[in-house]
A and B are shown apart, each in its own frame.
Chain A
Amino acid sequence: MATILETALAAGCFNTLLAAVDAAGLRGALEGPGPFTVFAPVDDAFAALPPGTVQTLVDNPAQLARILKYHVLAGAHGRSALVGQPEWSSLEGAPIPIRRSEPFEVKNATVVTADIACDNGIVHVIDRVILPG
């Protein structure tokens, strides 16, 4: 199996996410043993944000890192584990609510594909960028 980042690269629809991970300097962390649960927004999710949002974040690594860390949980949790708890604490610190199990919704994003297993964790593909608050 590949690492989370390799899986993302191979999928081909996470270019913005990968660029963001690089800009935020989180590549090293996400290549580590983990394990992590990553909610990965597709490129369209980033594109749907109003113009300039992503650019501002990319220009400011610390702030970008915060948003990205909000998409990561410690530990590898599959869908069935995730729906068992109403809220999970992200690496950023703010909680991520699990709003529905059918369809599987994480905060205001719908999980398009769940439980993509990787060497150092599990990836769930989401259709929106989730934000703390």
Chain B
Amino acid sequence: MTTTTPAAGTKTPLIPPSTHRYAEVIHRLEAGGSMLPDTPENLQQIIGIYKAYAVPMDFYWRDLLYIAEQVFLNPLPAFKYFISQEYLDRPCSYSGDQSQLRIWRGGEKAHPELIEFMERGETRRMPKLLHHLWHDRVNMEFAEACMQAMLWHQGMGGRFNDYLASDAYKANADRAIKAYFKGNPLMLGLYKLFPDMVLEQVKQLSYYSNLGLFWEVMAPVFFEMSDLYDEGKLTSVPQAMDFLVNGIFAVAGRPIYHHVFIRGECFEIIPKSEGFTWLYEAALPYVEAVFYRTSPFRGTKSYNAQAGQVPANQADFHYGILYADVFPVGSAGIPPTLLMQDMLHFLPPYLQEMYKTHRRGEEDQLIQLGITFQRSMYNVTSAVIQALRCALLYPLDDSDPEHLTANRQFFEAQMDRFLRPEARLPDIQTQDYR
């Protein structure tokens, strides 16, 4: 069920126009569009940044799974970012010839631009350790910060979090922990003393796996969108959004699991048979945690707790990319400074040109591309909103006014989340916001 647009101008609207502050955006959503206005500049910007995002994302998901499955409970994981060749070559399930559901036309191994960057970095060819110490590498800390946001915010729908507190999980984890630390009396003793601490580490690792499996899908989706745009097959923002919606549905049933490999043996800490799905246990919590909530801006700003400047209710957190003040502050998390630095290395030429001619040109490229990224994430959020509407509500061209009203209420409820002043929704409606 793609979002179809009603035949323009052939009938009067069945329900009166919305009176919400974002009525214009709501009407656009009801017509099958995105929160981001449909202009060629917007399209160019978001496709370019999707491609720039997908290359480091390729590393993120591979390394997340590497950490979740191989590094596991290593107490001193100094080399967790030194991904093994096996994981660089691990076939992506959605690209490559071997894929059952091929989304991207490209190969299944790590993207060639990524490999090239890992060799050379911003400086020059050096031993990996030197690259790592000089921090001339992909900023994996960003991925970990996203994971921690999901871990910390917990109850955002889906069964994943509840399962982590269940006995079945504890039993699985226990088996894996004992196997991992076999022959290590110190760590086993620590486990006996502080079982919950080690269990908590395993829960965090399960979230690593969750996020890795989530991004394994998103990377080929973005690559394919960029390729389609280069071919000229993607010509409007709603089309780009529709591609995302179709992608979301196609992969919605993907299982989310956590398998650990200890000395060659596979331990299923979260087996596939638990029935966790990509849509409910990974995608929706991720959007909620990283796009909407995350954690307060760690920049040159202090919050007065007594004055309630940080909401007491976690659900009211508004520090995600959709609300972010896109200035680099150097820390992981949102604003996505580290991600912006990563994306800078993989910008397509048309975006580089665009940034050079604006304001400080190359000097403030990071902010410019950060704002572009924010726009693109509004588009992704629109796709999620449309997908939810498609799954849980009614088609846009439904003829029943009550159905349309239900759709309207859903959209309005989503837009209510952007009523607060920090929301960037009004800013992205114009091209001035750069």
Could you count the A-B residue pairs with CB atoms below 8 Å apart for me: how many are there?
A: 71
Q: A50-B1, A52-B249, A132-B280 are in contact. Are A59 and B100 (CB under 8 A)?
A: yes
**Chain B minimum-CB-distance residue to A55:** B101
A132 contacts which chain B residues (CB < 8 A)?
280
B249, B253, B272 — most chain A CB neighbours (10 Å): B253
Q: Which residues 212-267 of B sit at the A interface, judged by CB distance below 8 A?
A: 245-246, 249-255
Q: Smallest distance from the beta carbon of B247 to chain A beta carbons, Å?
A: 8
Contact indicator A62/B272 (Cβ below 8 Å)? yes
Q: A56-B252, A63-B255 are in contact. Are A48 and B1 (CB under 8 A)?
A: yes
B113 interfacial by beta-carbon distance below 8 Å: no
Q: Which residues 65-119 of A sit at the B interface, judged by CB distance below 8 A?
A: 65-67, 99-100, 107-108
B8 interfacial by beta-carbon distance below 8 Å: no
Q: Smallest distance from the beta carbon of A52 to chain B beta carbons, Å?
A: 3
Q: A57-B253, A133-B280, A133-B391 are in contact. Are A49 and B1 (CB under 8 A)?
A: yes
Q: A59-B100, A60-B272, A108-B393 are in contact. Are A133 and B157 (CB under 8 A)?
A: yes
A55 contacts which chain B residues (CB < 8 A)?
100-101, 250
B272 contacts which chain A residues (CB < 8 A)?
60, 62
Q: Mark contacts of A42-54 with chain B using CB atoms, 8 A cut-off: 1 yes-contact digit, 0 otherwise.
A: 0000001111110
A60, A64, A65 — most chain B CB neighbours (10 Å): A60
**A55 to B94 Cα, complex, angstroms:** 13
Contact indicator B101/A63 (Cβ below 8 Å)? no
Q: A62-B274, A66-B275 are in contact. Are A53 and B252 (CB under 8 A)?
A: yes
A63 contacts which chain B residues (CB < 8 A)?
253-255, 275-277
Q: Smallest distance from the beta carbon of B30 to chain A beta carbons, Å?
A: 16
A10 interfacial by beta-carbon distance below 8 Å: no
**A108 to B284 Cα, complex, angstroms:** 20
B427 interfacial by beta-carbon distance below 8 Å: no
Contact partner of A50 (CB less than 8 A), chosen from B2, B277, B403, is B2
Q: Number of contacting residues on B, CB 8 A?
A: 30
A53 contacts which chain B residues (CB < 8 A)?
249-250, 252-253
B273 interfacial by beta-carbon distance below 8 Å: yes
B76 interfacial by beta-carbon distance below 8 Å: no
**A93 to B251 Cα, complex, angstroms:** 22
Q: Mark contacts of B1-38 with chain A using CB atoms, 8 A cut-off: 1 yes-contact digit, 0 otherwise.
A: 11000000000000000000000000000000000000
B392 contacts which chain A residues (CB < 8 A)?
107-108, 131, 133
A56, A64, A107 — most chain B CB neighbours (10 Å): A56
B388 interfacial by beta-carbon distance below 8 Å: yes
A133 contacts which chain B residues (CB < 8 A)?
157, 280, 284, 388, 391-392
Contact indicator A56/B251 (Cβ below 8 Å)? yes
B255 contacts which chain A residues (CB < 8 A)?
60, 62-63
B1 contacts which chain A residues (CB < 8 A)?
48-50
B200 interfacial by beta-carbon distance below 8 Å: no
B252 contacts which chain A residues (CB < 8 A)?
53, 56-57
Q: Mark contacts of A8-23 with chain B using CB atoms, 8 A cut-off: 1 yes-contact digit, 0 otherwise.
A: 0000000000000000
Q: Which residues 385-416 of B sit at the A interface, judged by CB distance below 8 A?
A: 388, 391-394, 402-403, 406
**A62 to B271 Cα, complex, angstroms:** 10
**Chain A minimum-CB-distance residue to B246:** A50
Q: Smallest distance from the beta carbon of B238 to chain A beta carbons, Å?
A: 15
A66 contacts which chain B residues (CB < 8 A)?
275, 277
Could you jot down 19 A-B contacts, CB within 8 Å? Answer: A48-B1, A49-B1, A50-B246, A51-B246, A51-B250, A52-B249, A53-B249, A55-B100, A55-B250, A56-B250, A56-B253, A57-B253, A59-B253, A60-B253, A61-B273, A100-B402, A108-B392, A132-B280, A133-B392
Taking Cβ atoms with an 8 Å cutoff, the residues of B that contact A are 1-2, 100-101, 157, 245-246, 249-255, 272-277, 280, 284, 388, 391-394, 402-403, 406
| Closest 3 pairs between A and B when the two form their complex, measured CB to CB | A52-B250, A57-B253, A50-B249
Other A-B pairs, 17, CB within 8 Å; known A55-B101, A63-B277: A50-B245, A50-B246, A51-B246, A52-B251, A53-B249, A55-B100, A56-B250, A56-B251, A57-B252, A60-B254, A62-B272, A62-B275, A63-B253, A65-B275, A133-B157, A133-B284, A133-B392
